[in-house]
Amino acid sequence: MTTDIKIIKPDDWHVHFREDEMLKVVTKYSSRVNRRCIAMPNTSNLITSSDQAVSYKKLIESNSHSKNFEALIPCYLTESLNIDDFTYALQNNIFVGGKLYPTNATTNSQHGVNDIKKIYNIFEILEKENSILLIHGELNRNNIDIFDREKYFIDEELFQIRNTFKDLKIVLEHVSSEYGVDFVNSNNNIAGTITPHHMLLTKDDVFKDKQINPHHYCMPVVKNESDLLSLRRAACFENNKFFIGTDSAPHQAKDKIQHDSLKAGIFSSPCSLELYASIFEEENALENLEKFSSINGPKFYGLDINNDFLTLNKEEMIVPEYTEEGNIKVKNFFAGKKIDWKVS
Ligand code: DOR
Ligand code: ZN
């Protein structure tokens, strides 16, 4: 039996650090196990300029508990972006890419992009600068069923983006369906991040007997068993196209239980690497964990692979119910449950 695994230190290509007191509380969990994290720009004050990116990066890094931890910031794309500043920031590695939030797809996406054609000029710049387009791939329009939003986005928007900008590197974030996995696998210059929760939950864990479990509610919503299995195959076996993106997204517990304005997001960073390890173990694929956690991501982003290491031990860990400090109280994903791996 494997009792410990030594891997190249991972990176998390999709995390929400938020702002203020929440940022101070949650940053240590991601910096504990990762060398680099992409810090999503859908903060309450959206990150749309180079100045904001510089100060947000500093803020996160100064709250990290690890000395060479690095936060990478993508630009929140809007139809009214300052193109000169955006180009300057890409050329000077201030922005790691641009993040597309279609309007009303998720938290703080009300200022996202309504007519995606209107930002094709931005995609052209990303392609020219050999940078990355990160996409929240869901269309929330025309009464599209919540479970079909990813498929509609792929059919109505992504297909065309892919065919128009053939050299543009795209990351389809938090792939949630078999349809999404198949799209990533069958196109060039596109990769996908996969969360632990999309490989552990199905829609029955969220919607049951007309009740919603708010702590399992996230965007994209988790789907069917067949989707979960397809994501597990993609992460554990398929190829070089998938890597870690936890989408760890903390909300105050009190905001998660207000059904009239339910916040989408699952906070997994206190145990995400341990969860990935247990999923890979269940799939008999522990030998492939390092590719998913530490190699595929930097290769796709064109960055160096980390040169430090981390060890996971076969050791029981019970996830605490809450992350609680000062005025912050966030429900942890997998709360109260046992995981068989622990970062040493
Ligand atoms: O569930 C989610 N929460 N999905 C996202 O895409 C955003 C995130 C958040 O910021 O709360
Ligand atoms: Zn996210």
Give the active site residues.
247
pLDDT tens across 73-129, in order? 999 999 999 999 999 999 999 999 999 999 988 889 888 999 999 999 999 999 999
Query: For residue 284, what pLDDT band results from cuts at 50, 70 and 90?
Result: very high
Check residue 14 and give its pLDDT: 98
**CB 311, CB 302: distance < 8 Å:** no
What lines the ligand 1 site, CB under 6 Å? 16, 42, 106-107, 136, 218-219, 247, 249, 264-265
Domain assignments of the chain as residue spans, ordered by start: 9-310
Query: For residue 258, what pLDDT band results from cuts at 50, 70 and 90?
Result: confident
The verdict on whether omega for the bond into residue 220 sits within 30 degrees of 0, i.e. cis, is yes
Check residue 251 and give its pLDDT: 97
Query: For residue 211, what pLDDT band results from cuts at 50, 70 and 90?
Result: confident
Check residue 2 and give its pLDDT: 82
Q: Is the pLDDT of residue 151 over 80?
A: yes
pLDDT tens across 156-177, in order? 999 999 999 999 999 999 999 9
Q: What does the CA dihedral 279, 284, 287, 292 come to, rounded to 10 degrees?
A: -40
- Ligand 1 center–CA 4 separation, angstroms: 32
Check residue 106 and give its pLDDT: 86
List the one residue out of 197, 207, 295 whose CA is nearest residue 243: 295
Atom of ligand 1 nearest to the CA of 40: 10
Query: For residue 262, what pLDDT band results from cuts at 50, 70 and 90?
Result: confident
Q: Is the pLDDT of residue 46 over 90?
A: yes
Q: Which CATH number fits domain 9-310: 3.20.20.140, 1.25.40.10, 3.40.718.10, 3.10.20.30?
A: 3.20.20.140
Report, as an integer, the average pLDDT of 234-255: 94
Check residue 261 and give its pLDDT: 74
pLDDT tens across 53-76, in order? 999 999 999 999 888 999 999 999
Q: Whose CA is nearest to atom 10 of ligand 1?
A: 107
Three-state DSSP at 242 gives: strand
Query: For residue 238, what pLDDT band results from cuts at 50, 70 and 90?
Result: confident
